[in-house]
Amino acid sequence: MSTHAATALERLRKSLRARVGVTILGCLALLAIFADLVASDAPVVGRGPDGWYVLPGLVDQRAQAEQGGAAAERYAGHTAVWPLVRSGPRRSVAAPLEPASKAHPLGTDEHGRDVLARLVHGSRTALGVSAAAIGLGILLGALLGGLAGALRGRYNRWLERLVDFVDTFPAIILVAILRAIEGEPTPLSLVAAVAIVRWAEVARLVRTEVLQASVEDYALAARALGASRWRVLWRHLMPNAVGPVVVSSVFGVASVTLLEAAVSFLDMGGETAAPSWGELIAEAVRHPEAPWSLLLAPVVLLGSTVLGSYLLADALRDALDPRTVRLSREG
């Protein structure tokens, strides 16, 4: 006998789609986390005027505060291990729209900033926004959906109306409204907007699963044994929703990343400080004379994020479906 989770994991391990998806998303996540090792103004390990530093860009308060190339210059004369690209995402290092060179493997953008650095740090924005927005959405959706499934009655009906409505309200309009409120556009408004729109889907999934499971024998038995309503909800009903919510959330990574790219592409509410793939695509559109790599590179990264999450979600859906899991075990 193996548990449902174990069977699902086993199936995931066997699935080619899941492996490809996990590899792509994993690489991107590593890139986002260790962006400073790939491109930074400061060295990875370096001896500064006051001794040795590991990742001075993050650790050294002064290097953080210094704008521009001061940090790079300070470490330049000493022994140091430098990242692949010796320039951070925000500093102009060369003439605008330069073609690829040894110092700048993908050339520079319209402000003379290193494209590779902006791409690598852009993955932080893309994945960070997706993860934060989807996490928030799951929290809200699970709470409201679980309550609706458990309380039923009027609350349930209200939630259904609300979910139907929120689902049909365009996220981009919400982003526009939030961007108008913000003094300086930040990715935060995007996270909020997506979370406000996305919780509805999660709530709907949770509610359906909870409603369906609440009349099953095991739920009734737990009640009869004296478990409180909340314990039944938490221990017996909500776990049913984990599968659908996970699948929808992984699919969500694709759509949220695309939305983030679209919003930064449109430059809604002015340029954001955070580097973003969509912004690079926008630059490529503004400057048709720029090298093809300016358009191609962000598209490849964006496309592989979408592809990875789609493949993984697809595999997850098949692996987590209890009906097919049981079938395969019998067969």
Partner 1 sequence: MLLSLLMRRILWVPPTLFIVSVATFLLLSFVPPEATLDASSGHARREQDELRALPRFFNAAPRDARARSTEAAELVARGGPEAIAAEAELASLGGAALPYVIPKLDGFAPEPRARVALALAPVAERMGLDDLDEARSARTAARFWIRLWEARSVEFRPATARTTVNRLVRQPTGARRRELAKLDTYALPALFERLEPPDDEGELATTRVLVDAIASVTGRDDRLAPHEGLAEARACVARWNVYWVSHESRFRSYEGLSRAAATVRETRYARWASTAVLNLLGDSAETRATLQRARVAAPITLGLLLGGILLAHLAGVALGTMSAVSRGQSIDYVVAALVLGLYALPTAALAAWLRRLGLGGGLWLPMLVVAAGLVAAPMRHQRAALASVLSGEAVRAARARGSSRLRATTLHGVRRAVAAVLSLLAVEPPMALSAVFVVEHVFELDGLGAMTLEAVARRDVSYLMTLSMAAATLAVFVVLALDLAQSALDPRQRTKILRGV
Contact indicator for 83, 77 with CB cutoff of 8 Å: no
Contact indicator for 223, 229 with CB cutoff of 8 Å: yes
Complex with partner 1: residue 87 or 309, whichever CB lies closer: 309
Q: Which stretch binds partner 1 (CB under 8 A): 85-93, 104-112, 119-127, 251-259?
A: 251-259
Binding to partner 1 by CB under 8 A, coded x per residue (else -) over 262-301, reads xx-xxxxxx-------x--xx-xx--x------x--xx--
Is 170 among the residues that bind partner 1 (CB under 8 A)? Answer: yes
Among 242, 293, 307, 321, which residue sits at the site for partner 1 (rule: CB under 8 A)? 307
Is 45 among the residues that bind partner 1 (CB under 8 A)? Answer: no
Contact indicator for 159, 145 with CB cutoff of 8 Å: yes
Complex with partner 1: residue 22 or 306, whichever CB lies closer: 306
Q: Which stretch binds partner 1 (CB under 8 A): 46-54, 123-131, 254-262, 319-327?
A: 254-262
What's the min distance (Å) between Cβ of 201 and partner 1?
8
Beta-bridge partners for 53: 46
User: Minimal CA–CA distance to 245: which of 165, 156, 324, 140?
Assistant: 140
Q: Which residues, other chains included, contact 214 with Cβ-Cβ below 8 Å and sequence gap of 6+? A: 149, 150, 232, 237
CB atoms within 10 A of CB 241: 24
What's the min distance (Å) between Cβ of 305 and partner 1?
8
What is the rounded (10 degree) CA torsion for 110, 111, 112, 118?
Answer: -90
Applying CB under 8 A, what is the total number of residues that bind partner 1? 51
User: Minimal CA–CA distance to 142: which of 52, 69, 239?
Assistant: 239
User: Minimal CA–CA distance to 38: which of 118, 110, 130?
Assistant: 118
Is 302 among the residues that bind partner 1 (CB under 8 A)? Answer: yes
Applying CB under 8 A, which residues contact partner 1?
Answer: 156-157, 160-161, 164-165, 167-173, 176-181, 183, 197, 211, 254-255, 258-259, 261-263, 265-270, 278, 281-282, 284-285, 288, 295, 298-299, 302-304, 306-307, 310-311
